[in-house]
């Protein structure tokens, strides 16, 4: 089967022979025992372990397993299962919570890519129904017009790559924080909590629809800890704030997500 990966060193097509992808220039990349392929060349890494750390990945998996974000997963499934697609690409897929669930509800081949090796290791080990790779989505190792569906859940957006990777009729689906997502946690560390606004159409796309979904949940300390550890503001929590949080039996927290759907703009 052709897997449509491009060589991250020379951008020639990669062919799969046995457990190895290689290009005409004899660059080759082996599949790891977990089933993913690492397409992030050492020279493209800006740190030893780019992307989410093992600690963040473990916290995210532990939190997501509790089911509090299942309503977001379900909303994405409902959108994707209505779209006729051959290829779905989840950009910045993390440990695969959304990727594998979408794969169960589409006939498309599902690809998940993330720059964090720890995240992809976790993803590939648990979810054999998807093709996982370690790579940067700022220069994603896939041919142009690769995907019918592009998914981005709380991941960085690289507009030039979104436009390049989308087939002419593709949909781009972005999940981003809703107005007061995690407000109660942010109030512990920021004087003013700013409302999140909707994502504007990336260049090359036009807006189709935005859905806002929200839930209020009651979380115990261990759950709060994992939730904080998987956010970019975890490092802002000082020891005394952790301590104060530990003393509270549980806390009510707002979970809120915009799901924005875009289609490729017709020129
Ligand atoms: C907030 S997490 C979201 C993960 C997953 N989509 C989820 O919601 O569970 C953001 C992810 O983007 C990844 N990421 C950050 N920069 C990236 C890049 N340049 N290329 C690929 N992935 C990147 C991180 O490693 C991390 O797994
Ligand atoms: Zn090559």
Residue 202's region, left for phi above 0, alpha for psi from -120 to 50, else beta, is: beta
* Greater pLDDT, 236 or 42: 236
CA–CA separation, 133 and 188 (whole Å): 37
Contact in structure between 93 and 134 (CB atoms under 8 Å)? no
Ligand nearest to the CA of 89: 1
pTM here is 0.96
Give pLDDT tens digits for 148-198. 999 999 999 999 999 999 999 999 999 999 999 999 999 999 999 999 999
CA–CA separation, 241 and 263 (whole Å): 43
Crossing angle of helices 221-229 and 239-247, in 10° steps, is 150
Give pLDDT tens digits for 79-124. 999 999 999 999 999 999 999 999 999 999 999 999 999 999 999 9
What is the pLDDT confidence band of residue 4, given thresholds at 50, 70 and 90?
confident
Query: Which residue puts its alpha carbon closest to atom 1 of ligand 1?
Result: 154
Atom of ligand 1 nearest to the CA of 158: 19
Pocket of ligand 1 contains residue 173 by CB under 6 Å: no
CA–CA separation, 262 and 267 (whole Å): 15
Average pLDDT over residues 119-130: 97
Pocket of ligand 1 contains residue 97 by CB under 6 Å: yes
Give pLDDT tens digits for 33-74. 999 999 998 776 677 778 899 999 999 999 999 999 999 999
Q: Where are the domains of the chain?
A: 1-30, 31-264
Pocket of ligand 1 contains residue 205 by CB under 6 Å: no
Placement of tokens 């949909």 in the chain? 171
The confidence score (pLDDT) of residue 43 equals: 72
CATH code of 31-264, in short, is 3.40.50.150
Ligand nearest to the CA of 11: 2
The confidence score (pLDDT) of residue 204 equals: 96
Which residues sit opposite 209 in a β-bridge?
261
């Amino acid at each position: 089967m052709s897997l449509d990966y491009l060589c991250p060193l020379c951008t020639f097509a990669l062919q799969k022979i046995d457990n190895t992808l290689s290009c005409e220039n004899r660059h080759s990349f082996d599949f790891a025992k977990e089933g993913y392929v690492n397409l992030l060349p050492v020279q493209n890494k800006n740190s030893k372990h780019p992307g989410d750390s093992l600690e963040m990945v473990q916290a995210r998996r532990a939190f997501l397993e509790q089911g509090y974000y299942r309503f977001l997963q379900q909303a994405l499934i409902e959108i994707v299962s209505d779209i006729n697609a051959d290829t779905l690409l989840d950009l910045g897929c993390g440990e695969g919570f959304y990727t594998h669930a979408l794969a169960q509800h589409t006939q498309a081949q599902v690809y998940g890519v993330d720059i964090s090796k720890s995240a992809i290791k976790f993803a590939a080990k648990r979810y054999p129904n998807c093709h996982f790779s370690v790579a940067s989505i700022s220069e994603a190792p896939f041919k142009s017009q690769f995907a019918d569906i592009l998914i981005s859940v709380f991941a960085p957006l690289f507009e030039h790559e979104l436009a390049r990777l989308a087939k002419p009729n593709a949909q781009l689906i972005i999940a981003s924080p809703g107005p007061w997502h995690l407000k109660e946690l942010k109030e512990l560390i920021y004087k003013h909590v700013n409302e999140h606004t909707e994502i504007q159409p990336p260049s090359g796309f036009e807006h189709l629809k935005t859905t806002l979904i929200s839930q209020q949940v009651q979380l115990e300390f261990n759950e709060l800890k994992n939730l904080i550890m998987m956010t970019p503001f975890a490092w802002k929590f000082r020891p005394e704030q952790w301590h104060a949080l530990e003393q509270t039996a549980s806390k009510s927290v707002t979970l809120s997500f915009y799901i924005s759907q875009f289609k490729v703009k017709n020129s």
